[in-house]
Amino acid sequence: MAYQVLARKWRPKQFEEVVGQGHVTRTLQNAIKQDKLAHAYLFTGTRGVGKTSIARLFAKAIRCENRKPDFNPCLVCASCKDIDAGNSMDYIEIDGASNNSVDDVRALIENVNYLPSRGQYKIYVVDEVHMLSVSAFNALLKTLEEPPAHAIFILATTDPQKLLGTVISRCQRYDFKNVPVDILKDHVIKIAKAEGINFSSEKIPRKLAELGKGSVRDTLSIFDQVLGLAGTNDITEDNLTSALGLAGTSAMKELLTSILVGKSQTCSQLFNQLVQENIDLKKLCDQILDGFFKIINSIDDQKSLYTTEIIQEQALEGITISELFWIYETLVKDFNWALTSMNPEKVIQILLQKVCLRRTILRGDDLIVGEVPQAGKSEAGVTAYKVEAPKKLAKTWDDFLGYLRTAAPATAANLEHGNLIEELDINNVPLLIKIAFPEDAAVFKDYLDEKDIYARLKNHLADFFETDIEKLQFKTQLLTHEERKDINFKTKVEIGEEARRNREEERRQKILNDPFVKEAEKLFNSKIDKIILND
């Protein structure tokens, strides 16, 4: 007997065997029980979730000659066998993609007028119904609205948005759900036990379920693919990763950890190793994103991250929640265009390095890469180059404000309504930072003095100026008008506004003194009255 793939072999034959669509099967069984059958049904949902299987099962239950007490088909009567064999004259199943013309629909409508050869109902299943042309839909509308008493239509689609509203309104609609991972995992385990298949790890059935992305058929197709590579009924994690072109668990664990702890060289080496193993780039990107998704969702239970071997222990030490979100959002956006770039491998490698070096980049103190190397001789006599380590750049208050505008824009905006009251010396221990605000700007001081805001601001200061938070003092105060005048105090906002006005005045003077403008004034015996500057 020819081999039958798992998806076909385990197609449900009873309503209770349907995976993850209990809300649909219960409703359909109740419709049969109460003899309240609609003349048209619409089944919608992603591929492989059971739309056609349930349509066939529902049709058998409606037409069954010896229906069971629980309203399941008996599977042994002539009607059930004819439907299973595909030669029933009263159960017509067509593909909307290949039978989408007006002529095809007219032939179907003509067939509807004939009475069933046996039983009470003729059932028409149109799969992928959204593929019908607009004219074909219009031809079907009248029949859908007022079909003969013996006709029942079941329309199935993965894309209900493409259906005409007039078609949807004539049908009883059932939305099929994506099957949850846990339910798919249990289904895989059930089939494995029945087929005598053994898994070397409990992670394998769960991984199969995750890769199925809510589709029973896709999950079982992947299962079949892994079985084919294994060649036996004993499946290992290596079988899974090799068959599907995925990175192994240990490799992903090291890669995710290197990104979290910021080891860019290690990350690049791991990435290149995976590429050399011919791991599919899109699948690798999916695995990286899936890894960070699990990390974010398990942040309150870090032990589970280590026990499930997603990352190495202590990898999250010092990592903030906002940092994790930044990593995930950055990778989602960057992977999208990297995979369509001219050289995806190199682009993705650079993107991973960027994420590893995120703190250096976002802080604004990038490493200097243009140092002139000093030539020397190595022990082997080959010319070698020694690059001097870049000198540590002195950080100013303006540098910190620039960093804070990215890290915490609202805090930066409030802080700029004040200014340093004493010169900042980053070598002082403790590092003392005193900020003053005008009396009429007390609201900005009050904002910064709020407990949570104050604590976060101190953390940003300690991080940026590379000092322990215990060795940092941050104080705020208000200045009266007279005190401001005595020390010629200006806030950062005022300094910025003054600089803007000076720049505008310089631009005005440049325009007024332009030789062409002077010549125009002389020619027309006039003077420039007004200058409007744009950005």
Among 128, 151, 175, residue at a domain's last position: 175
Tell me what percent of the residues of the chain surpass a pLDDT of 70: 91
Output b/e per residue, 252-269; b: 16+ Cβ within 10 A.
Answer: bbbbbbbbbbbbbebbbe
Q: What is the pLDDT of residues 255-274, one digit of tens each?
A: 999 998 888 889 999 999 99
User: Are residue 234 and residue 265 in the same domain, yes or no?
Assistant: no
pLDDT in the model for residue 349 = 92
User: Are residue 269 and residue 225 in the same domain, yes or no?
Assistant: no
pLDDT in the model for residue 307 = 63
Q: Structural domain of residue 268, as residue ranges?
A: 251-363
Which of these ranges, 17-26, 145-154, 267-276, 402-411, has the smallest mean pLDDT? 402-411
- Confidence tier at 207 by pLDDT (50, 70, 90): confident
DSSP-assigned states of every residue in 461-514: HHHHTT--GGGEEEEEEEE-HHHHHHHT---HHHHHHHHHHHHHHHHHHHHHT-
User: Are residue 31 and residue 113 in the same domain, yes or no?
Assistant: yes
User: Are residue 194 and residue 161 in the same domain, yes or no?
Assistant: no
Q: What is the pLDDT of residues 31-85, one digit of tens each?
A: 999 988 999 999 999 889 999 999 999 999 999 988 898 899 999 999 999 998 8
Q: Tell me how far apart the alpha carbons of residues 172 and 160 are, in angstroms, rounded to a whole number.
A: 13
User: Are residue 169 and residue 222 in the same domain, yes or no?
Assistant: no
| Edge-to-edge strand ranges of the sheet holding 151-157 | 91-95, 122-127, 151-157, 40-44, 172-175
Residues 6+ apart with CB under 8 A from 187: 19, 179, 209, 216, 219
Angle ∠(290,296,298) on CA atoms, nearest 5: 100
Q: What is the pLDDT of residues 424-468, one digit of tens each?
A: 887 888 889 999 999 988 888 888 888 888 888 988 888 888 888
User: Are residue 13 and residue 125 in the same domain, yes or no?
Assistant: yes
Task: Check whether 167 has a pLDDT greater than 80.
Answer: yes
Q: What is the pLDDT of residues 466-477, one digit of tens each?
A: 888 888 889 999
- Confidence tier at 301 by pLDDT (50, 70, 90): low
Among 244, 262, 283, residue at a domain's last position: 244
Q: What is the dihedral of CA 358, 361, 366, 369, to 10 degrees?
A: 70
pLDDT in the model for residue 363 = 63
The two tokens of residue 108 are: 């179907």
Cα dist from 297 to 225, 254, 257, 294, 361, whole Å: 30, 19, 16, 5, 26
Among 155, 175, 195, residue at a domain's last position: 175
Q: Tell me how far apart the alpha carbons of residues 86 and 52 are, in angstroms, rounded to a whole number.
A: 14
328 within some domain = yes
Number of domains in the chain: 4
* DSSP 3-state of 236: coil
Quote the mean pLDDT of the chain. 84
Task: Check whether 508 has a pLDDT greater than 70.
Answer: yes
Closest C-alpha among 333, 336, 302, 339 to residue 317? 302
208 within some domain = yes
The two tokens of residue 16 are: 């209770």
User: Are residue 156 and residue 271 in the same domain, yes or no?
Assistant: no
Quote the strand ranges of 86-215, DSSP E: 91-95, 122-127, 151-157, 172-175, 198-199
CB burial class (10 A; 0-12, 13-18, 19+) of residue 41?
buried
User: Are residue 296 and residue 210 in the same domain, yes or no?
Assistant: no
Task: Check whether 364 has a pLDDT greater than 60.
Answer: no
CB burial class (10 A; 0-12, 13-18, 19+) of residue 394?
exposed
Which of these ranges, 88-97, 106-115, 148-157, 357-366, has the smallest mean pLDDT? 357-366
pLDDT in the model for residue 302 = 62
User: Are residue 170 and residue 267 in the same domain, yes or no?
Assistant: no
User: Are residue 74 and residue 189 in the same domain, yes or no?
Assistant: no
CATH number for 297: 1.20.272
The two tokens of residue 177 are: 């759900």
497 within some domain = no
- Confidence tier at 388 by pLDDT (50, 70, 90): very low
- Confidence tier at 391 by pLDDT (50, 70, 90): very low
Q: Tell me how far apart the alpha carbons of residues 121 and 73 are, in angstroms, rounded to a whole number.
A: 15
Q: Tell me how far apart the alpha carbons of residues 189 and 202 are, in angstroms, rounded to a whole number.
A: 9
pLDDT in the model for residue 419 = 92
534 within some domain = no
Over the Cα atoms of the chain, what is R_g?
A: 35
User: Are residue 267 and residue 204 in the same domain, yes or no?
Assistant: no
Q: Tell me how far apart the alpha carbons of residues 26 and 280 are, in angstroms, rounded to a whole number.
A: 42
CATH number for 84: 3.40.50.300
Closest C-alpha among 254, 257, 360, 361 to residue 316? 257
165 within some domain = yes
Q: Tell me how far apart the alpha carbons of residues 323 and 315 are, in angstroms, rounded to a whole number.
A: 13
270 within some domain = yes
494 within some domain = no
- Tokens 């060649």 sit on residue: 231
460 within some domain = yes
Amino acid type, 145: E
Q: What is the pLDDT of residues 223-240, one digit of tens each?
A: 988 888 888 888 888 888
pLDDT in the model for residue 424 = 83
User: Are residue 10 and residue 28 in the same domain, yes or no?
Assistant: yes
Looking at per-residue pLDDT, the higher value among 137 and 346 belongs to 346
The H or E element containing residue 283 is helix 281-297
DSSP-assigned states of every residue in 72-117: ---S-SHHHHHHHHT--SSEEEEETTTS-SHHHHHHHHHHHTSPPS
